[in-house]
Structure 1
Amino acid sequence: MAVASPLRNLEDEVLCSICLDYLKDPVTIDCGHVFCYHCIIKVCESTRKTLSCSLCKTAFKKENIRHVWQMASLVENIWKMKVDEERQPREERPPQQSTEKLCGQHLEKLHYYCKDDRQMLCVLCRESREHRHHSAVLLEKAAQPYRGKILNHLKILKGDRDRIQNFQTTGEDEIQALLTKFQHYRQNIASVFEQGHQFLREREQYLLEWLVRLEQELTDGRHSRVTKGSEEVVRLGSLISELEKKAQQPALELLQDPSDIISRYPRKKFWIEKPISSAIKKRAEEFSDKLLSLEKGLREFHVRIILNSQTANGYLSVSPNGKSMLFTGLWMNKHQRGQRFDPEPGVLGSKGFTWGKVYWEVKVDRIWWRTEEEEETVRCRGGTRSVFASSCLGGFLGITDGYSSLRYRNENEEFEEECSQENGLWPKFCLVGVARESVVRRGFLNFTPEEGFWTLQLSSAVVYICSSSEPFQILSYCPRQIGVALDYDGGKVTFVNARTQEFIYEFSSPFTGRIFPFLWLNCMRSRLTLRP
């Protein structure tokens, strides 16, 4: 290593900075730097500007170029030392020299590339007779076209790699977005089924309570029957015992009273009562019908219907659980929002539908109607039997209350008479039905299918259908509970009397967009309640 270092330093001093090879016919310029004669002449011929040294940028003149013969002798001696060193055994060479690729013939560094023979040449090979007249260039210059091809192909490959990575990234984003959507679906499924479970729990409690009432009535009837039967048996036993004693009296005593003995002990119409009253049998039949209806209803999808208070008019008060609303007559919302109805006292349900079937009920309460207990008493005393026509909904119906047709207090009749005198017609006090999400919510509205409303108009004692600008009457009484069945795919909205399952009316119209439950109320003596 100590022997090779001075030679390497001397070798660096005799290299031309233009061709990077040993100096050939060395010459010097004005600044004193040395170049090959042919190299500096090419520089002079290639430019028309002021000539300058490639090392120090000092200007020089072509006529001041001078040969340096001593440098030519020095270059020759250093080259010979280089050849002698390269001829040493390979194991004796310094480590840095053993890794260099040398000419196999002259053991010189390879600096040139012969285009004619496509061979790499050392300095001696280039000057040899074989390659002297061939086109030879420096290795770096000869490698440039190949390096350019490699770089171009490398650019193409990198582009392909980037496109694949971008494709993977985009695909991963799409997959993640779909997985996120699946997570939302999972949450929606849990929410929907929780609503279904709540619906079933409410129906279960309702049926169980009804069954308890039936059992209690049947048990009370049995006790009454046993008591009355026992009393009648005791009475008849006393009469029989007395007559038996009479029959055993002597003729003298028996004939002392000449009147008809049988007439003195008349046979009364003895008590007999059926084990189960007709009222209980009727209610048991209705209960059985409701179980059948439950089986049909469970085949459909039930959801929990509640009201969206954000859409309610300012005069309406929606309960905290969203199941009922009142017309207060007091403006409670000072700042109207874009989704509220104004001035119409309407409200939409919180959930809209774009497919499937759903059924819900709306209970209509007026202060002059009989209470449910009074209605039930009238029913048990022989009211008209309900007609449970579940087939009219084709599988929509859930469990509903079974009551007879409605009866009103005299106060109702007085109110209707007052309204009739003032307005000349039966006034509407509520609307029940469905509405399209895109309906207009500002100004006075026409509640017709053309405007996106499918509703029944309820007055105090009459039901109208809103299918045109002029509603027409379809019922001469006002049901206390309306069943609404929406079949989105079938394009139908069916209304029934929920307490008798009597068919009222059916709209048939293809739906577009999301359809919501809709209620409208403008009477202070009224309340609308959603069930279930």
Structure 2
Amino acid sequence: MAAASPLRNLEDEVLCSICLDYLREPVTIDCGHVFCYHCIIKVCESSRQPLYCSLCKTAFKKENIRHVWQMASLVENIWRMKVDEERQPREERSPEQRAEKLCGRHLEKLHYYCKDDQQILCVMCRESREHRHHAAVLLEKAAQPYRGKILNHLKILKGDRDRIQNFQSTGEDEIQALLTKFQGHRQDIVTVFEQGHQFLREREQFLLDLLMGMEQELTEGRSSHITKGSEEVVRLGTLISELEKKVRQPALELFGHTCLSSSGFHHDSTFSRYPRKKFWIEKPISPAIKKRAEEFSDKILSLEKGLRGFHGKLLRDLEYKTSKIVLNSQTANGYLSVSPNGKSMIFTGLWMNKYQHGQRFDPEPGVLGSKGFTWGKVYWEVKVDRIWWGAEEEEEAMKYRGGARDVFGSSYLGGFIGITDGYSSPGYRNESEELEEEWSQENGIWPKFCLLGVARESVVRRGFLAFTPEEGFWTLQLSSAGVSICTNSEPFQILSYCPRQIGIALDYDGGKVTFTNARTQEFIYEFSSSFTGRIFPFLWLNCMRSRLTLRP
């Protein structure tokens, strides 16, 4: 093998040809070759007589083995020089040493791999006592299985890369398609709102022109009215002056201006010019203009109502998600019967449940929805049915309700109709309830028959409850007299009629619960609060022949 430096030449001279390592306790034999003491002793013990040198095959005797102390000193000095060289910085080594990876112990090229110790060896390391009996193979052969594993893993990685690239390409196409769709939506929004603006501007101009025409006609009529009235006042003033002068005349002159009529009565020409009760009078506003003004007022009311409904519906449809609510029968009071699909319930008047649940309301006839909310904006509706309530009553009450309100916007359900739909009410009602309602009506107090709204999951469910925000309830109270709310110990009325379909909008993050008439989109009431925990839909019903139905 080629020497890498003068030190390598010296190093080759102090190696034992048996263990291929540095000489330890060097000894010489009859032929003059030098070996490690322990190596040559093992040869002597394992071989039969005569003994032969492993290098020159010359016979030697065991008793002629002699220590070479000078060689021991030389080996030690060379070893120290090698250690010093290995400690030498890489920059100070020769270019050959820096270019190739060499054995750190022997500065030889690395050719073998020891499977036992999992180490890379040079030729000298392989022949050393440490690795001589180990399974050592050439590096290239040892690397083949590992290279195969790398190639297999590389194939998997390339496949994953190709799939990711394909997925990325497909995703990019989908994103681009959606962005293109968004651009179309952008144009649609601009077009729809521009058409809406144009339509509203045209209707606005139409109403303004109509109003301007009536104002102009009324102004012209006022001018004519003022002119005619002024002329009549002047004419009457002239007659008044003449009569005032005449009344101051002497009697002879006064009668001198009279003439005898055929009937025997004297009439003055002054009286004939203004007969009694024949003075001018004219209505300031013509009946036609009054009728048109009333029709115009109806148009304005219709406009306001239509815009409130439009605003409410648009706000609900664009910002709120309509949620399908299902009642949780495990929370229903025993007097309530929940339908199998969980969409409606009735008050039976009879205890329906034999087993108590920890979640159940008792004795309050309440029930929670099965799904609670901790974020977002959701909307649902409740249909209120009572047999004794006619369909015309709400319409009649709505005609005479007072004051316009702002709009949240929603869609109400319809109809106080019969309660069949899979239920067979026993028709039982407690006599005390009949007496209580009669007494309440006689005294002007109408008991509540249902509550609609939301409740916190942690509300108390045992005992008689106060349905206020402080207790975790945000509800409307419906009775025969109208709609009330409970924000303290005493409810106060906000509507004199009961809508048959009520929309409930929950804005959890905004801390709002808004109630609307779902049929007319009109605003009823809004609670403002700060919600914590889950908020559930809540219904309460305490009246026979009544039913509450959730929609959608």
TM-score interval (norm. to shorter)? 0.3 to 0.5
TM-score, normalising length from structure 1?
Answer: 0.43
The two structures have a TM-score, normalised by structure 2, of 0.41
